[in-house]
Structure 1
Amino acid sequence: MTNVRALKGRDYITLMDYTTDEIKYLLNLSRDLKSRYYQGERYNDILRGRTLLMIFEKPSTRTRVSLDAAATQLGMHVIYSNPQELQLGRGETIADTARVVDRFVDAIAARVYKHESLIEMAKYAVVPVINALSDKEHPLQALADALTLWEVRSRLEGLRIAFVGDGDNNIAHSLMIIGAKLGWEVRIISPRKYWPTKFAELLTEDTRRTGANIMISDNTEDVRGVDAVYTDVWVSMGMETEAEERKKVFRSYQVNAELMRKAGPQAVFMHCLPAHRGEEVTDDVIDGPQSVVWDQAENRLHTAKAVLISLLA
Structure 2
Amino acid sequence: MKPLRHFLSMNDIEEEEARMIFKKALEWKKNRGKEFPTALQYQTWALIFKKPSTRTRLSFEVAIRELGGEALFLSSQDLQLARGEPIEDTAQVLGRMVHGLIIRTYEQKEVELFAAYGNIPVINALTDEEHPCQVLSDIFSFEEKRGSIKGKKVAFIGDGCCNVAKSWALAAEKFGFYLWIGSPRGYFSPVKSDFVQNTSSVEEAAQDAALLYTDVWISMGKEQEADKRQMEFSQYRIDRRALSVASKDALVFHCLPAYRDKEIALEVFNERKEEIYTQAENRLHVQKALLAWIVGKLNG
Shorter-normalised TM range = over 0.9
- Structure 1 residues 115-154: aligned runs within 5 Å: 115-154=108-147
Give the superposition deviation at 1:156: 3.2
Alignment counterpart, residue 269 of structure 1, candidates 247, 252, 255? 252
Alignment counterpart, residue 19 of structure 2, candidates 24, 33, 42? 24
* Aligned equivalent of 2:103: 110
* Aligned equivalent of 1:51: 44
Q: In 1, are the aligned partners of 2:169 and 2:189 still within 8 Å (CA)?
A: no
User: Aligned partners of 2:135, 2:35: CA distance in 1, in Å?
Assistant: 23
Q: Can you list the C-alpha shifts for 1:219-260, whole angstroms capped at 9, x where unaligned? A: 112111110100000000000000000010000112112221
Question: Secondary structure in 1 aligned to 2:4?
Answer: coil
The TM-score, its normalising length taken from structure 1, stands at: 0.90
What amino acid maps onto 2:200 in structure 1? Answer: D
User: Aligned partners of 2:262, 2:114: CA distance in 1, in Å?
Assistant: 36
Alignment counterpart, residue 72 of structure 1, candidates 62, 65, 68? 65
Give the superposition deviation at 1:42: 5.4
User: Aligned partners of 1:238, 1:289: CA distance in 2, in Å?
Assistant: 28
Question: Secondary structure in 2 aligned to 1:135?
Answer: coil
Give the superposition deviation at 1:9: 2.9
User: Aligned partners of 1:273, 1:63: CA distance in 2, in Å?
Assistant: 11
Gaps of 5+ in 2: none
* Aligned equivalent of 1:15: 10
- Structure 1 residues 138-287: aligned runs within 5 Å: 138-197=131-190, 200-201=191-192, 204=193, 213-222=195-204, 223-287=206-270
Give the superposition deviation at 1:289: 4.2
User: Aligned partners of 2:110, 2:39: CA distance in 1, in Å?
Assistant: 30
Q: In 2, are the aligned partners of 1:111 and 1:131 still within 8 Å (CA)?
A: yes
* Aligned equivalent of 1:297: 280
What amino acid maps onto 1:100 in structure 2? Answer: V
Count of residue pairs the alignment pairs up: 295
Gaps of 5+ in 1: 208-212
User: Aligned partners of 1:78, 1:134: CA distance in 2, in Å?
Assistant: 20
Q: In 1, are the aligned partners of 2:218 and 2:229 still within 8 Å (CA)?
A: yes
Give the superposition deviation at 1:59: 0.3
What amino acid maps onto 2:10 in structure 1? Answer: L
Give the superposition deviation at 1:175: 1.0
Q: In 1, are the aligned partners of 2:155 and 2:181 still within 8 Å (CA)?
A: yes
Runs of 4+ in structure 1 deviating by more than 4 angstroms, as ranges, are none
Q: Do structure 1's residue 84 and structure 2's residue 84 form an aligned pair?
A: no
What amino acid maps onto 1:269 in structure 2? Answer: V
* Stretch moving more, 18-27 or 270-279: 18-27
Tell me the percent identity.
Answer: 35
What amino acid maps onto 1:24 in structure 2? Answer: R
* Aligned equivalent of 1:210: none
User: Aligned partners of 1:28, 1:177: CA distance in 2, in Å?
Assistant: 21
Shift in alpha-carbon separation, 1:46–1:121, aligned structure 2, 3 A: closer
Question: Secondary structure in 1 aligned to 2:52?
Answer: coil
What amino acid maps onto 1:130 in structure 2? Answer: I
User: Aligned partners of 2:241, 2:214: CA distance in 1, in Å?
Assistant: 15
What amino acid maps onto 2:232 in structure 1? Answer: V
Question: Secondary structure in 1 aligned to 2:235?
Answer: helix
Give the CA RMSD over aligned residues: 1.6
